[in-house]
Structure 1
Amino acid sequence: MTFDGISPAATEFYARLEADNSKAFWTAHKTVYESQVRAPLEALADALEDEFGAIKLFRPYRDTRFAQDKSPYKTHQGAFGGPTTGVGYYLQLDADGLLAGGGFRSHSAEQVARYRAAVDDDTTGAQLAALVDRLRADGFDIEGDQVKTRPRGVPADHPRLDLMRNRSLMVFHRYGTPDWLATPQALDHVQATWRQVRPLAEWSAEHVGAA
């Protein structure tokens, strides 16, 4: 399967889904989702696999069992892959376009505890702080699912307090809808972004590990 780019029809599909998140719309336009969203992203994932490992596309259906929002379909298509659960590289397509990034999403309290212990350590914590500062300077958005107050036992003057408050750590580069998105060059841009993210993914794999 060859990756040829992502058509404007893909972002248009999500713009329309945001306006009408119904089974009727989905049924009528599922072929658009399959051909313009899922197929090109599967081809992109296949092209990235040799360097970054297997990339899995998420299901398009929302889990509404415990959510107040009962809309049945996700208004984006995400994909994730990496060395262990929740650690690695992320890709997303929605009405605003494409983004790519990575890091780790915590799947257990043990992962959060290991992360904070590594941040607290003067050696590994300083390594992470330098990685995050470099990625921020390179234009990445930093997200961390932060707790509102500092974790128990963490002093107010901790040198890495912001990082200690995180329960996860992800970085993203938001491309939007540049002209190259509809061409094979999109692969080059995602590869370049994931190579920038690789040191963070490797740090997370070593110090956070599996759930």
Structure 2
Amino acid sequence: MTFEGFPDEGLVFYEGLEADNSKTYWTRSRPTYDAFVRAPMQALLDELAGEFGTAQLFRPYRDVRFSNDKTPYKTHQGAVVNPDGRGAGAWYVQVSADGLMVAGGCWRLESDQVARYRRAVADDVQGPRLRAEVDRLATAGWTIDGERLVRVPAGFGRDGDRADLLRHRSLYATRRWEPADWLHDRRALDEVRDAWRDLTALNAWLADNVGATTREPRARR
């Protein structure tokens, strides 16, 4: 299937799901989701796979076991590319009634990864590289986010130009577009591709300096 944009029917589907997040609505509207959300998203990912790698398309069902919010369905469709062997640094794309979102970086780091991240930020070679890249992305309109500590962790200087980066326990950049006519055609593919390319240096830094966790996987509760 060739990607031809995200049809307006898919965005309308999510408007309805936000208003009625129920099994009744989902069952009645499942063919719309399959045709106008899941299928075009998979087509987009297939066209990007040659450059960025195979993506994981997230399930539409929420995990409500440990959440106070018991609504059963996600009000967006997301997908992520985690390149094999990199360990850290991924690309993300999401469509919803609010439009299109792309992101890249690390959304969650284990303790050993956080320790390597901090050492790299404090390093006089790797730290300035990340500082420059984060500043470049912010100037280009990206939102820099991630879990942060209130203070710089003990053992690191609190007054340097990388103090804000040392507070991060995860680090990612995000860009959003509200619904527009181009979202319904192949320009959406160009926007995602260009945005992911713009995140390549950030992801490379994370892959080189943070890498994969060496901790054992957590037991499921």
Range of TM-score over shorter length = over 0.9
SS of the residue aligned with 1:147? coil
Structure 1 residues 174-183 or 101-110, which shifts more?
Answer: 101-110
User: Equivalences for 1:39-54 in 2 at 5 Å?
Assistant: 39-54=39-54
| Residue in 2 that maps onto 1:188 | 190
1:105 CA drift (Å): 2.0
1:86 CA drift (Å): 5.3
Partner Cα distance (1:164, 1:77) in 2: 32
1:181 CA drift (Å): 0.8
SS of the residue aligned with 2:40? helix
| Residue in 2 that maps onto 1:158 | 160
User: Equivalences for 1:30-109 in 2 at 5 Å?
Assistant: 30-83=30-83, 84-85=86-87, 87-109=89-111
1:110 CA drift (Å): 1.4
Q: Which amino acid aligns with 2:57?
A: L
| Residue in 2 that maps onto 1:111 | 113
Q: Which amino acid aligns with 1:69?
A: D
Report Cα offsets for 1:158-194 as digits up to 9, x if no partner: 3211111111111111122121110012111111111
Q: Which amino acid aligns with 2:112?
A: E
1:130 CA drift (Å): 0.4
Q: Tell whether the 8 Å contact from 2:109 to 2:169 is kept in structure 1 after alignment.
A: no
Distance 1:85 1:28, change over 3 A: farther
Q: Tell whether the 8 Å contact from 1:98 to 1:176 is kept in structure 2 after alignment.
A: yes
**What is the percent sequence identity of the aligned residues?**
48
Q: Tell whether the 8 Å contact from 1:86 to 1:106 is kept in structure 2 after alignment.
A: no
Unaligned runs of 5+ in 2: 214-221
Structure 1 residues 35-44 or 154-163, which shifts more?
Answer: 154-163
| Residue in 1 that maps onto 2:218 | none
> Aligned pairs, how many?
211
Counterpart selection for 1:131 from 130, 133, 138? 133
| Residue in 2 that maps onto 1:20 | 20
Partner Cα distance (1:105, 1:111) in 2: 12
What is the CA RMSD across the aligned residues, in angstroms? 1.3
| Residue in 2 that maps onto 1:203 | 205
Q: Tell whether the 8 Å contact from 1:106 to 1:112 is kept in structure 2 after alignment.
A: no
Partner Cα distance (1:18, 1:110) in 2: 38
Q: Which amino acid aligns with 1:176?
A: E
| Residue in 2 that maps onto 1:146 | 148
Q: Which amino acid aligns with 1:47?
A: E
TM-score where L is the length of structure 1 = 0.95
Partner Cα distance (2:130, 2:109) in 1: 20
Distance 1:63 1:86, change over 3 A: farther
TM-score where L is the length of structure 2 = 0.91
Report Cα offsets for 1:81-109 as digits up to 9, x if no partner: 03245522110111110011211122421
Q: Tell whether the 8 Å contact from 1:86 to 1:105 is kept in structure 2 after alignment.
A: no
